[in-house]
Structure 1
Amino acid sequence: MFQESVHAKAFQNYLEKADFPHTPQHLYDPIRYILSLSGKRIRPLLVLMGAELFDSSVVEQALPASAAIEFFHNFSLIHDDIMDVAPLRRGKPTVHQKWNDNVAILSGDALLIKAYQELAKCPIDKIPALLHLFNTTSLEVCEGQQFDMDFEERAQVSETAYIDMIRLKTSVLLGCALQMGAIVAGADERSQTLLYDFGVNLGIAFQLQDDILDVYGNPKSFGKQIGGDILSNKKTILFVKLQELISPTDQEELEYLLKQNIDSEPEKVDKMIGLYAKYDIQTLAIYQKEKFTTIAYEKLTEIQVEADKKEALFSLSDALMHRVQ
């Protein structure tokens, strides 16, 4: 996508000019490090695409907001990795692993402050609305993370609770990114809401797709260990749906498998996939993914701008939802 690459280049150029002092070294080096482990930078890209949807002349003015989103996202990753005791992030050592927990906590805090410094660079008349949205979303992401941790201690999690958790932990930030761009562009409130809802529903569908690919994806293209969620007993949409439908007899096997690891039960992944197949869980999960994808596309369609201006967002969405099958 030409526009996407143009926006990605503009954001990268802006990011390279970011002011991160060289001292204290252990405060700013971890920030430079986490930002160098760049993924696709979907969130800052969405800010710029959200602005362009309504007014292409203000895309440059949206760059500070896009940086704020990227800084907040990476701040949350640093802290999440500490809580998850994760050794790797995007195939590289996590910040707390490369340095230590204290360095990671403080660098994450500093990166959050840098996000607010970027917001202060936005057009002054747009700052109150941007701050309100950014603060609301930031708290929701924290709530989602807490729900995710709470689920680890719960034997049962409903589908509704799971969807709400991923909405808060992952999806609201996508909606926020798009709406921030729309705010900078001066879009009306209804258009902002539709664009936000598009991002949130797309984010939910994206996470459900990730759950499905963890079990049924191509290991060569997925980029993660197939069955990793099963081995860690993670409550995904597949697991939640299985718990809803499983018979008492199969429940005994499920409880047995949950107590095992790869050493004590080398066939744990295969046996769980067998349970999923017995209850056609993959089909049910795909249905949920497609439901939220459809809602997202309907929201984008409703926005009253020329159809050709939406093509980049539809194209990006299709790429996200049809990756590494």
Structure 2
Amino acid sequence: MAQFNLKEAGELLAQELEKRAYGDAPENLYAPLRYILSLGGKRLRPALTLLGCYLFDDDYKKAVEPAIGVEVFHNFTLMHDDIMDDAPLRRGQMTVHEKWNPNIAILSGDVMFVKAYDYIMQVEDNVLRSAISLFNKCATEVCEGQQFDMDFEERAIVSEEEYIEMIRLKTAVLIGFALRLGALIGGASEEQSKVVEEFGVNVGLGFQLKDDILDVYADQDKFGKQVGGDIISNKKTLMLIKALKQAKGADKAELLKWLEVKEFDKVEKVKAVTAIYDRLDIKEMATSKSNEYFDKGFTALQKLDVPDNRKQLLKEFGIYLQNRDH
């Protein structure tokens, strides 16, 4: 069988997603679902389910249906997150609640969650219970992470440790689950599937920390979301947490001013806070922390008992996330 290719796996999944009807009526329930799934994206999480399967079994296509479930669930979380954040753009296009309205977006997201179960259940009976149990744990943790994220909006001080735990729950556990689900479908032992998950959670942490950096420093045309959105909304990212800790004198006063002001020019705020980050070397500090988690993920691979060429695919995936610019 030909060598597994993550990009080709993503393209395969995109084609499979297009074939799915999800439901017909009422149109305003299913059209938003089809819309958000049509916006593209890298399809990394479902592709990781296929890769997790391929690590242990050549026939990775038997993981396609559960992988679609992973992608549907991921987009459900994006749809609801966009409502909570009042985000205008998703992948460069109008968010669902902007294109329709928040009530439609909530209900369409709800049906996506149900559809995710439909697809994830398409596994062999011997791993069905584990698959659903792990999915339930993952989905619960994602909700916990989102609630922590919202709670942090009401707090003046959030510690670095609290922030890392929040992004572990909100982002990293889904990457770990996607890989572990595929590994179980591929016949991995419980122990080996946990190793794959450990890799996924750590690179997921590195991925989110890198995403925080890109939110400030990415090229708008490549990023697909509003650059500086975290600054505009006073989001308690690691970058802001470190800046509040490091800033002194005029920088501290200016940063606190921008955090407290209610009416402001968005472009001016983003420019001013970014300048403070630059003066304090915040980007470098956040990059170092991000790389720390990528390194933990790569170290976990030493415990993985699969052929080196397959293990290398996971490492290359981690390196790709580490070096991405959008």
TM over 0.5: yes
Give the SS at the match of 1:187.
coil
Q: Measure how far apart 1:86 and its partner are.
A: 1.9
Q: Which residue of 1 aligns with 2:141?
A: 140
Q: Measure how far apart 1:307 and its partner are.
A: 0.9
Give the SS at the match of 2:98.
helix
Q: Which residue of 2 aligns with 1:170?
A: 171
Q: Which residue of 1 aligns with 2:150?
A: 149
Aligned partners of 1:97 and 1:251: how far apart in 2? 36
Q: Which residue of 2 aligns with 1:106?
A: 107
Q: CA offsets, 1:135-186, max 9 Å, x none?
A: 0000000000001111111000100001111111111100000000011011
**RMSD across aligned C-alpha pairs, in angstroms?**
2.2
Q: Measure how far apart 1:263 and its partner are.
A: 4.2
The verdict on how the C-alpha distance between 1:262 and 1:319 changes in structure 2, with shifts beyond 3 A counting, is: farther
Q: Measure how far apart 1:95 and its partner are.
A: 1.5
Q: Is the 8 A contact 2:91 2:223 kept in 1?
A: no
Which AA in structure 2 matches 1:52? Y
Q: CA offsets, 1:59-104, max 9 Å, x none?
A: 1221121011111111111111121122221122222222222221
Q: Measure how far apart 1:114 and its partner are.
A: 0.8
Q: Is the 8 A contact 2:121 2:131 kept in 1?
A: no
Q: Which residue of 2 aligns with 1:5?
A: 7
The answer to whether 1:48 aligns with 2:65 is no
Q: Measure how far apart 1:226 and its partner are.
A: 4.0
The answer to whether 1:307 aligns with 2:324 is no
Q: Which residue of 1 aligns with 2:272?
A: 271
When structure 1 is superposed on structure 2, of 185-194 and 7-16 the one drifting more is 7-16
Alignment partner of 2:23 out of 21, 24, 27: 21
Q: Is the 8 A contact 2:53 2:182 kept in 1?
A: yes
Structure 1 unaligned regions, length at least 5: none
Q: Is the 8 A contact 1:159 1:240 kept in 2?
A: yes
Structure 2 unaligned regions, length at least 5: none
The verdict on how the C-alpha distance between 1:96 and 1:272 changes in structure 2, with shifts beyond 3 A counting, is: closer
Size of the alignment, in residue pairs? 324
Which AA in structure 1 matches 2:246? L
Q: Measure how far apart 1:249 and its partner are.
A: 5.8
Aligned partners of 1:179 and 1:266: how far apart in 2? 42
Which AA in structure 2 matches 1:176? F
Which AA in structure 1 matches 2:54? E
Q: Aligned ranges for residues 1-325 of structure 1 at < 5 Å?
A: 3-57=5-59, 59-219=60-220, 221-247=222-248, 250-260=251-261, 263=264, 267-324=268-325
Give the SS at the match of 2:234.
coil
When structure 1 is superposed on structure 2, of 101-110 and 226-235 the one drifting more is 226-235
Aligned partners of 1:257 and 1:210: how far apart in 2? 22
Q: Is the 8 A contact 1:231 1:262 kept in 2?
A: no
Which AA in structure 2 matches 1:107? S
Q: Is the 8 A contact 1:134 1:176 kept in 2?
A: yes
Aligned partners of 1:101 and 1:271: how far apart in 2? 32
The verdict on how the C-alpha distance between 1:229 and 1:194 changes in structure 2, with shifts beyond 3 A counting, is: same
Which AA in structure 2 matches 1:89? R
TM-score by length of 2: 0.92
Aligned partners of 1:86 and 1:222: how far apart in 2? 14
Runs of 4+ in 1 over 6 A off after TM superposition: none
Q: Measure how far apart 1:265 and its partner are.
A: 8.5
